[in-house]
Structures are given as structure tokens and as C-alpha cells.
Amino acid sequence: MQKRQHIVAGNWKMNLSYLEGRDLVREITDRLQPTETLVVLAPPFIHLNNIGNIIHGISNIYLGAQNCHWAEAGAYTGEVSARMLASIEVGFVIIGHSERREYFAETDAMLAQKTDAVLAHNMRPIFCCGEKLDVREAEKQEELVSEQLHSGLFHLSPDAFRQVVIAYEPVWAIGTGKTASPQQAQDMHAFIRQLIAEQYGQDIADATPILYGGSCNPSNARELFQQPDVDGGLIGGASLKAADFLAIVNSF
């Protein structure tokens, strides 16, 4: 089995002023130790160009966006297209974060279109999937995640799918202080990898990075990342503090 990429992606959500974001990235780049882990910084749109300039030339830090529209251009006030993001060398785009699904009514059909747009501009989607507490308590989490992946991703060709990163979000563990146990995370990540193998074959499944996206922090990252099918994290609150974020990056 080939070695998969380790990825730690920081999702700043709707936080930090322009100057605060600049200072955070400078601290991260100043303190980042040599690592094979791929680091992605996904700030609000106002930061993208400036952060791109700061990280330019650092081989393992990539610029990420938190969202994009599926259309190339048009009358979509307030939206940003994949073409625009690619023009400032964004490398990754988060697609279908649980908060986008919840607060902006994003459907799997919409997310399939967004994924296509991201890939068409040679960026990598970080495709989010996961269940709320009621689904977990009803033990329907595998059924839901399977539907999310089949509807949002499995229309892709094998070559296109090779560019995809998946982030599993137990929605009940985001911003609540709760965390899925390492075994719960591993069980779902293994299930996702099984679905990919059934759709695209074992080689592609073995090569697909699957990130954990539920309240990962410096105290639990190492144990989570030791699980055989957990390849990194999509980090929320802990990505806003350089020391915490770097501690997670160094947890492999």
C-alpha cells in the first residue's frame, strides 16, 4: 500500500481581521519546522491574496478557500468562483462544510457542481461529509455518509477522484467540546475508504487522504492521527492560534 499524504488544514471560518490574519500566518511560517505534512491555510476571502504572498516559496504550505460557487462567472452577488480562486494560486477549496450545509442549505447536488468547478481549475476539493447527533444516535451515520459521497463525489472519473481529499465531520463534535473517540473516528474513516474501494478500486482508496474534522486539538491529535485510516485533520478553532495549530501539524 502506498503512503498517503498527511494533511492538516486550518479552517479559520469567519474570524480574524486583515492584520490579525497577517500576523497569525507570519507566526506560523516563522515557527513551522521541516515536515512532510502538507499544511493548508483556509481563511476568509479577504486574506487569500496576502497570505498567498506570505507563503510563496514555502513548499509544504498551500492556500485554501472555504467555499466557491459552481458557476464560472455571472450575476451571483456575494459569491466567488473557482476561476477567481485559481487566479491567485489557491490550491485547495473546502466543499460542503457542515456549516455550509446547515446555514446555507447546500445540497449534495450543489456540492457535486462545486467539486466539478474546483477540479476544472486544477485545485483540490476538501469534500466534507458527516452526521448530526440524531443520526448518530439512530445508528444511521454510515447510511448518511454513503449517500453524501455517492451524490456529491462518486460521479467523478477515477482520474478526477485522485485529486479529492475527504474530511469526515461528526457534526455533533464540532464546536461542542465533544470529540469522537479515536475508535469512532477510525471506524468511519475505514468505512469511507471501503466505499471508495467499491467505487474506484483499492489502489485509489488507499491513496485518498481522509481527514478528521471534529474538534481536533493538540491534546487529542496524536492519538487520532495514529489511527490507520486517519490521515490528518480539518482544524477549526485550534487553527486560530499558531502554537496550537503547529502542535497539531507536528502530531504525526
Question: What residues act catalytically?
Answer: 97, 169
Q: Give the per-residue SS3 of the chain.
A: CCCCCCEEEEECCCCCCHHHHHHHHHHHHHHCCCCCCEEEEECCHHHHHHHHHHHCCCCCEEEEECCCECCCCCCCCCCCEHHHHHHCCCCEEEECCHHHHHHCCCCHHHHHHHHHHHHHCCCEEEEEECCCHHHHHCCCHHHHHHHHHHHHCCCCCHHHHCCCEEEECCHHHCCCCCCCCHHHHHHHHHHHHHHHHHHHCHHHHHHCCEEECCCCCCCCHHHHHCCCCCCEEEECHHHHCHHHHHHHHCCC
- Taking CA 80 as the corner, what is the angle to CA 76 and CA 82, rounded to the nearest 5 degrees? 120
Grid coordinates given for 6: 498527511
User: If phi over 0 gives left and psi between -120 and 50 gives alpha, with beta otherwise, what is residue 170?
Assistant: beta
